[in-house]
Amino acid sequence: MLAASLHYFRMAPRDLAPALEALRRLGIDSVEAPVPWSGHERGAGFVFDGDSAPLLALLEAAAGLGLGVHLRLGPIVGSDLTGLGLPDSVAADRETAARHPDGSPQVVPVPPRWLLLPSCASRAYRERAGAWISAAASAVAPFAGPAGPLRSLILGDAWPFLGRSPLAAPDHHPDALAAWEAFRAAADPDVRARLLPPAPPGAETPAPGRLGLARFAERMYLELLRDLLHVAARAAGDRVPLAVTAPPAGLFQPVGVGALAGLADRVGLDAYGWRERPAALDRDARLVAGTAREPFASFVPVGTPPYLPLLDERDQLHALRSCLAAGLRGVVLSMGVGRDRWCGGLLDEALRETEGTHLYRRLLHGLARSGWFAGRRRPVAALVVPRGYVRGALAAVAELAGPVAPGLAAAAGFDPPAALDPADDGPAGGAWWRWLAGAESALQDLGLPYVLVDDEGPGLPDVPLLLAPTLADCPASLAELLSRRAARGAPTLCGPARPARDLETGRPFAPAVDLSVAADPPDAVSLAGALGMPPSRGPHDRLERAVFLGAAGEPVGLALVHRGTRELPIGPAIEERAAERGPGGAGAPAAGWRDVEEPGLQRAAGRLGPGEVRLLAPMRKETP
């Protein structure tokens, strides 16, 4: 999936085919298009053709050129539209809006206006959103199937969730209050007593009292999304793969990536990152790559919205390479064609290449030529991100920062638990984060390819080494998993405390005697020892070398991520470690490695600068 965004609803139908043709020449194999509810609603019905909403024309044009199409149905598509693509009747409807305790609506700033935040629990909103998804999916269903251009339908958008923290300002819509009651009634009695008070927690409720609210708020969004996925699947006749998206919030997603991955195999990351704060995007990408079955980057910026002009060209290419290096198996470059309310793109509105387009062309053609996406990244270690503790951190920050969106802050590099007391070993404290950050740093010191995993996802990857921050209060499923792994002798490290009782019910666990627990975060030496690696000589170069293997186990790619502070010559950087058969690794190709982005057949050369990400492909005799 090498896709580029194209906003057909901002173009004349006659311009669609030339735009698609121009994008295809750049090396993309499909286009991604948001389908805004507001652009297609006409009175009580919906329209999908005609000059103002030429969705069907887009599909026909793509089919004619052999290009695929991925459609983002929302219901909230964003796309810098007024009201984020919601029709005015929804964006300004107080009846379907989330509410404060006094009945006033919850609002979020969405330039050029303010938007009423729809209540995920509102039955009226769910019905209207369902009708929209059903109509849109039905309209495009004829284009599905092996011969059709429709490749996937992408649902959900958590931007409103990012716009404010539901943990600081819970929804008091009548349907939300009724849902809270039902949620309480269905809960384990101990959970109910500990975490679910009769009324949703108020402004003065301390952080631990908000953990139940955090779970509830996620449940509301997930229920909405699950219903919409069912609607879309039914309307499209189950012939189109469905995908969901996660916002760029580092590890502090308002909805867990694990839960999203439980709804759909394909989980897309909207990857908006800052080069000066690479950790946030890097963690985003590794979390989605480590948790979802089919992870991809559903939004990698090419250009920038005028309201948030923080990314320059280097940031954008870095974001793209970071996503690929982390193992995301597909990218959507946004924008493919320049448009209103966006600065930049691969092509401008007149379909001329922009200043940096040649860099993307080289990368896109290189990825296609090398078969990059045929490979799977083979991590050596997985670092678990316990969702229960993430909720604790979000709850603690909600107490401190009110309704300010922690997800947005996290995307900009403000990790919520970094604001918490590192000595506090409660679920709303910072001790678990200190351990996780320390363990991650040790993995980076060693240069081991690793992923991050949401423990509430569909499963943990089978990796040689598993690391997990744990407190005495620990999610039951995580404690059980760690015990099982330890019992069979698989290297597993946790800390800063041994799991002793269930985070939610408070019930004690049977002690896991085999489990290796470290009060302090592991360092590089202890990790190397756990993996049976020889101790390293000298200072660490902090260069990660992640090998991508094809179906037959052959190397098809090598991603270098340089986190050190000094430049490294690339030749030795490859030869030293990639040629080793380390844990989970693979041998180097006999003919060596070349830069994916270089059209020739020269061996990769030059130097790797601090912070740089480089993608390499094996040199093969048959490579044209």
Partner 1 sequence: MIAPELRFVRVGPAELSALVRFVAQPPAESRVGDVRHGLVLLTRDGRPAALADLRRGFVPLPAWLARDAAVDREVLRRLRREHGATWAVAVGGAALRRLDAALSRAFDPSGDLLDGLLRLAHEAREARRAGELLFSPALLDDVPIPAAAQVRSAFDLVLPDDRTALFYAFGPQGLSFGLVAEKRRGRLVCVAGHEALGGIAVRGAQWRAAVPRILRETALRFAPPAVGVFGDEAALRRIVFGTEPAALPRALATREVILDPLPPWLAVLLGLDTAAKAAGTARSLLRRFDPLGLAERLDPARLARDLQQRLGVEHPLARALGFDPFAVLVRLQQWRDG
Distance between first and last Cα of the chain: 22
Tokens of 100: 């404060």
If the CB atoms of residues 366 and 416 are measured against partner 1, the closer one turns out to be 416
Q: How far is the CB of 282 from partner 1 (least distance, A)?
A: 14
Q: How far is the CB of 396 from partner 1 (least distance, A)?
A: 10
Is residue 285 a contact partner of residue 323, using CB atoms and an 8 Å limit?
A: yes
Q: In angstroms, what is the C-alpha Rg of the chain?
A: 24
User: For helices 211-235 and 123-140, what crossing angle results, to 10°?
Assistant: 30
Q: How far is the CB of 118 from partner 1 (least distance, A)?
A: 14
Is residue 452 a contact partner of residue 517, using CB atoms and an 8 Å limit?
A: no
Question: Footprint of partner 1 on this chain (CB under 8 A)?
Answer: 82, 88, 91-92, 100, 102, 104-107, 109, 111-114, 116, 164, 168-169, 203, 276-277, 303-304, 306, 309-310, 312-313, 338, 340-344, 348-349, 355, 398-404, 413-415, 418-420
Residue with tokens 């121009």: 22
Return phi, psi of residue 313, to 5°. -60, -40
Tokens of 63: 């089919």
Q: What CA–CA distance (Å, rounded) separates 40 from 310?
A: 32
If the CB atoms of residues 416 and 584 are measured against partner 1, the closer one turns out to be 416
Q: What is the DSSP string of 134-155?
A: HHHHHHHGGG-STTSSEEEEEE
If the CB atoms of residues 277 and 369 are measured against partner 1, the closer one turns out to be 277
Q: How far is the CB of 314 from partner 1 (least distance, A)?
A: 11
Report which of 389, 129, 391, 97 is spatially closest to residue 255, judged by C-alpha positions: 391
If the CB atoms of residues 399 and 612 are measured against partner 1, the closer one turns out to be 399
If the CB atoms of residues 109 and 610 are measured against partner 1, the closer one turns out to be 109
Report which of 437, 511, 515, 504 is spatially closest to residue 474, judged by C-alpha positions: 504
If the CB atoms of residues 469 and 475 are measured against partner 1, the closer one turns out to be 469
Q: How far is the CB of 567 from partner 1 (least distance, A)?
A: 24
Q: What CA–CA distance (Å, rounded) separates 243 from 82?
A: 24
Residue with tokens 């951190």: 393
How many C-beta atoms lie closer than 10 Å to residue 103's C-beta?
Answer: 10
Q: How far is the CB of 102 from partner 1 (least distance, A)?
A: 8
Q: How far is the CB of 410 from partner 1 (least distance, A)?
A: 10
Q: What CA–CA distance (Å, rounded) separates 109 from 434?
A: 33
Q: Could you give the 3-state DSSP secondary structure of residue 3? A: strand
If the CB atoms of residues 315 and 502 are measured against partner 1, the closer one turns out to be 315
If the CB atoms of residues 105 and 262 are measured against partner 1, the closer one turns out to be 105
Q: How far is the CB of 415 from partner 1 (least distance, A)?
A: 7
Write b or e for each residue in 565-583: b if 16 or more Cβ atoms lie within 10 A of its Cβ, otherwise e. eeebebeebbeebbeeebb
Q: How far is the CB of 399 from partner 1 (least distance, A)?
A: 6
Q: How far is the CB of 188 from partner 1 (least distance, A)?
A: 30
Q: How far is the CB of 518 from partner 1 (least distance, A)?
A: 23
Q: What CA–CA distance (Å, rounded) separates 165 from 398?
A: 7
Q: What CA–CA distance (Å, rounded) separates 422 from 431?
A: 4
618 strand-pairing partners: 593
If the CB atoms of residues 24 and 100 are measured against partner 1, the closer one turns out to be 100
CA diameter of the chain: 71
Tokens of 69: 């199409």
If the CB atoms of residues 90 and 573 are measured against partner 1, the closer one turns out to be 90
If the CB atoms of residues 404 and 476 are measured against partner 1, the closer one turns out to be 404
